[in-house]
Structure 1
Amino acid sequence: MSVRMLKALAAALILVLPLVGCWDTKDINKQYLPAVMGIGKGRTDKYRVILQIPNASGKTQFLEKEAKSISKAVDLIRTDSEKNINLVHLRLLILDKELARQGISNIVNFAVRANDISIKGMVAVVDGDFEKTLYHEISPTPEVSSYDFFSEEAGWTPNQSILRIWEAYRGLNSYSEDMAIPMLSNGDRTLFTFKGTAVMREDRMVGTLSKDETLLYNLFKGKYSRGTIEVAQNTSVMIEKAKIKHHRHWSDNGPSLVTDITLGVVIMESPRDKKHAQIEKEMREQLSRQFNQTVKKIRDYHSDVLGIGMIFRPRLSERSINEWKSKWFPMLEQKINVHVNILNEIYLKDPDVGS
């Protein structure tokens, strides 16, 4: 082979090599990128899958199908769609409340096994009309998405729970912890309204927590920043710091746990003549009563949604871990003590205002 031919071949390779690896690249204009997938009970089949596909104008396109499996329903949507369906941008998985009561293990396993769904996506349960919530729209706002409702940088508060797909999968396979799923419905002037939290036992919904009760769940999970609490009339505080210390004990009667919660708060509104000691006392008594009532409610559901089993796990044998939810958790004695420290004040309300 001549030197001239070798140079020509080298030049051709230089031009071709940058294209290697891009041969299967797909035009983004020929793809639908759903942000939300709704999974409900079908009218004529087992599952009904609804995809929300936002566009640049802020409007949303909806595609749906029914089938005996979720993957088949998605495949049917792909079959009838003029563009390819790519789930790589899916941020929120919304489930019908009826399905949550029947069991969601198949749904979670589908989401984890699907190659194009991120396990960092959020999971939520619809409390109300599933179709109305999924098809609900507000005025076109390209900068607002369903995902923002759960973003800690965009409006989230400790009265809302958060559950990611990978956390749901972990909860399904955990001997020492159950999961909690945020509940929502369509809003009036907003995309969603947060209704509370679905308490799960293994893969089935067994009860609910209100927005106020969800605060305790987030405190146990280390998520408490910027939570606002109304202590009494004309008085509200915001949580800035939280410290939790657990005192666990195991006797012949089974496990017991005493939890000390110390909250550092900032006074948001309060009458000028109201002493700090009085506010601390009212808040301590109110939250201690509320948290212990919530603990009893959760225990009656036989759901370890607070993850108490994880606290005892280092002391449990493998057999005791396997028996935690069925044998030991129902025997648990639990108490919560609340301590309050006022850090400073933002605004003092005139006691005559609003009287």
Structure 2
Amino acid sequence: MKKPKRSGHPHGSPRRFWPCTLLGVLALSLLTTGCWNRRELNELAIASSMGFDVGEKGVTVSIQIIDPGEITNKSGGSTAGRAPVTLYDANEETVFQAIRSITTKSPRKIYLSHLRIVVISEKLARQGIRNIIDFLSRDHELRRDFYILIARGSARDVLNTMTTIEKIPANKMFNSVKVAEENWGPVLGTNLEDLIGRLVHAGMSPLVPGIRILGSSKMGSKKTNVEQIDAPARLDLKGLAVFKKDKMLGWMNEQEGTGANFILNKIKSTVIGGSCPGGTGKLGSEIIRSQTKMKVRQEGDKPLIVIEVESEANVSDVECSIDLHQTQIIHELEQSINDKIRSLVEAAIKASQTKFKSDVFGFGDTVRRKQPELWSKVQGQWPEMYPEIPYEIRVETKLRRTGTTSQSFIEEIKE
């Protein structure tokens, strides 16, 4: 009689051994769970915004730090009398040196992963921002979705201004940019990704929104600034800073800024003012949708840029006596909106070509993508050619709604 063969495995069947091994590994994994770079909240100083100014040594970095105890206070006020944020600053030769130097003043390590706003002073922006952008792009802790603003004055003063409604000034600035760029034509939101893309691509230069302090910057830094209905100091988005590569050249006004956003296909909604047919009063329309396409046509040895804007609008307010049931009136209003948009776009192009001589709309990049052979011929001379590049503007607007009443009651008002 043959004896049954034993398994070659010293501990019996491999099938029985494998579950035991798996359980052992799982048990060990429970003992070793955790992130290698885990940090406790009470060990970090969470930065909500950063500011950059020209300093005696090189650059002054200001960092706005959130006070978690004040933010989580459900009563809405400050029981301890402390501000919801604290501002630290340092002046050093480089950005990284300044940030590390701030650790001598802060009781916790600066944590930049929740950064929402970066403010750069106009004075520093005119000297060049490449060193700042280089640092921001290299830091592994930083996300790239924070907004970048140019201060019409000191960046530190902007960060030092206490704001109403939003306890954290950085949140106020972030939300203001987000809401304004969706509803008001002159405002353009620019994040780190946008800025780097425009800096490194040939035939493109950056546009960055501006911010200023309305009122007294000294009063803005005090708690009384948020204890009054009419705050002595407010933060206000104003203008678009125009760059040529990494150096700021100047400002676009509201009309030029709105035109710029039409060209860049950034208009989500805005208001267009105009005159009633016959010039008897004012009429306002709300742009509810807009789409812009850029095309290139070769004219001799130069490219010609064709800008096509298609938009839809609603009549928002009428300050004259017109009948919006009449097809001819609607057609005249559409033409009036077309003319207004065309003038805004033309104002923006003229400013970029004559005042700044900087291709902030990416005309060169459009030529590169759509006419690569032509671009290879003009690329070397593009900065010199840009001010003379011809263009065409085509605008078509459709009115969708005229409101709940077709005729204004203005004429019915008795003297």
Q: Residue in 2 aligned with 1:343?
A: 400
Post-superposition Cα deviations, 1:179-220, rounded to whole Å, max 9, x if no partner, equal 101011124658521111011111111122112321222222
1:295 Cα deviation from its structure 2 partner? 1.0
Q: Does structure 1 residue 53 correspond to structure 2 residue 65?
A: yes
Amino acid at match of 2:52: I
CA distance in 2, matches of 1:155, 1:337: 23
Of 123-132 and 340-349, more deviation after overlay is shown by: 340-349
CA distance in 2, matches of 1:139, 1:330: 44
Post-superposition Cα deviations, 1:257-278, rounded to whole Å, max 9, x if no partner, equal 2323222111111146323233
Percent identity between matched residues is 17
Over 3 Å counting, the alpha-carbon distance change for 1:320 and 1:113 in structure 2 is farther
Of 79-88 and 342-351, more deviation after overlay is shown by: 342-351
Over 3 Å counting, the alpha-carbon distance change for 1:252 and 1:49 in structure 2 is same
Of 156-165 and 145-154, more deviation after overlay is shown by: 145-154
1:161 Cα deviation from its structure 2 partner? 1.0
Is the contact between residue 149 and residue 192 of structure 1 (CA under 8 Å) also seen in structure 2?
no
Q: Residue in 1 aligned with 2:238?
A: 195
CA distance in 2, matches of 1:15, 1:79: 43
1:350 Cα deviation from its structure 2 partner? 3.4
Is the contact between residue 181 and residue 268 of structure 2 (CA under 8 Å) also seen in structure 1?
no
Is the contact between residue 125 and residue 183 of structure 1 (CA under 8 Å) also seen in structure 2?
yes
Amino acid at match of 1:340: T
The match for 2:208 among 173, 177, 181 is: 181
Map 1:108-119 to 2 at 5 A: 108-119=133-144
CA distance in 2, matches of 1:108, 1:321: 29
Is the contact between residue 175 and residue 324 of structure 1 (CA under 8 Å) also seen in structure 2?
no
Q: Residue in 1 aligned with 2:120?
A: 95
CA distance in 2, matches of 1:297, 1:161: 17
1:134 Cα deviation from its structure 2 partner? 2.1
Q: Does structure 1 residue 265 correspond to structure 2 residue 338?
A: no
The match for 1:206 among 245, 249, 252 is: 249
Is the contact between residue 309 and residue 324 of structure 1 (CA under 8 Å) also seen in structure 2?
no
Of 189-198 and 103-112, more deviation after overlay is shown by: 189-198
Is the contact between residue 31 and residue 84 of structure 1 (CA under 8 Å) also seen in structure 2?
yes
CA distance in 2, matches of 1:324, 1:192: 41
Residue 217 of structure 1 aligns to a residue whose secondary structure is: helix
Over 3 Å counting, the alpha-carbon distance change for 1:153 and 1:297 in structure 2 is closer
Residue 34 of structure 1 aligns to a residue whose secondary structure is: strand
Q: Residue in 2 aligned with 1:225?
A: 268
Q: Residue in 2 aligned with 1:5?
A: none
Q: Residue in 2 aligned with 1:106?
A: 131
Residue 190 of structure 2 aligns to a residue whose secondary structure is: coil
Superposition TM-score, scaled by structure 2 size: 0.76
CA distance in 2, matches of 1:191, 1:15: 57
CA distance in 1, matches of 2:310, 2:376: 34
Structure with the greater alpha carbon radius of gyration: 2
Q: Residue in 2 aligned with 1:136?
A: 161
1:165 Cα deviation from its structure 2 partner? 0.8
1:288 Cα deviation from its structure 2 partner? 2.1
Superposition TM-score, scaled by structure 1 size: 0.87
Residue 47 of structure 2 aligns to a residue whose secondary structure is: coil
Map 1:150-161 to 2 at 5 A: 150-152=177-179, 157-161=184-188
The match for 2:341 among 259, 268, 287 is: 287
Q: Does structure 1 residue 306 correspond to structure 2 residue 390?
A: no
Residue 85 of structure 1 aligns to a residue whose secondary structure is: strand
Amino acid at match of 1:52: Q
Over 3 Å counting, the alpha-carbon distance change for 1:169 and 1:271 in structure 2 is same
Q: Residue in 1 aligned with 2:290?
A: 242
CA distance in 2, matches of 1:270, 1:140: 33
Amino acid at match of 1:350: F
Over 3 Å counting, the alpha-carbon distance change for 1:324 and 1:176 in structure 2 is farther
Over 3 Å counting, the alpha-carbon distance change for 1:248 and 1:269 in structure 2 is same
1:37 Cα deviation from its structure 2 partner? 0.5
Residue 101 of structure 1 aligns to a residue whose secondary structure is: helix
1:167 Cα deviation from its structure 2 partner? 1.7
Over 3 Å counting, the alpha-carbon distance change for 1:23 and 1:208 in structure 2 is closer
Of 317-326 and 226-235, more deviation after overlay is shown by: 317-326
Is the contact between residue 34 and residue 85 of structure 1 (CA under 8 Å) also seen in structure 2?
yes
Over 3 Å counting, the alpha-carbon distance change for 1:287 and 1:120 in structure 2 is same
Is the contact between residue 127 and residue 183 of structure 1 (CA under 8 Å) also seen in structure 2?
yes
Residue 140 of structure 2 aligns to a residue whose secondary structure is: coil
Is the contact between residue 119 and residue 155 of structure 2 (CA under 8 Å) also seen in structure 1?
no
Post-superposition Cα deviations, 1:227-277, rounded to whole Å, max 9, x if no partner, equal 112223542111112233444222335221232322211111114632323
Amino acid at match of 2:318: S
Amino acid at match of 2:246: D
Over 3 Å counting, the alpha-carbon distance change for 1:289 and 1:62 in structure 2 is same
1:156 Cα deviation from its structure 2 partner? 5.3
The match for 2:259 among 207, 216, 221 is: 216
Q: Which runs of 5+ in 1 are unaligned?
A: 3-7
Q: Does structure 1 residue 278 correspond to structure 2 residue 332?
A: yes
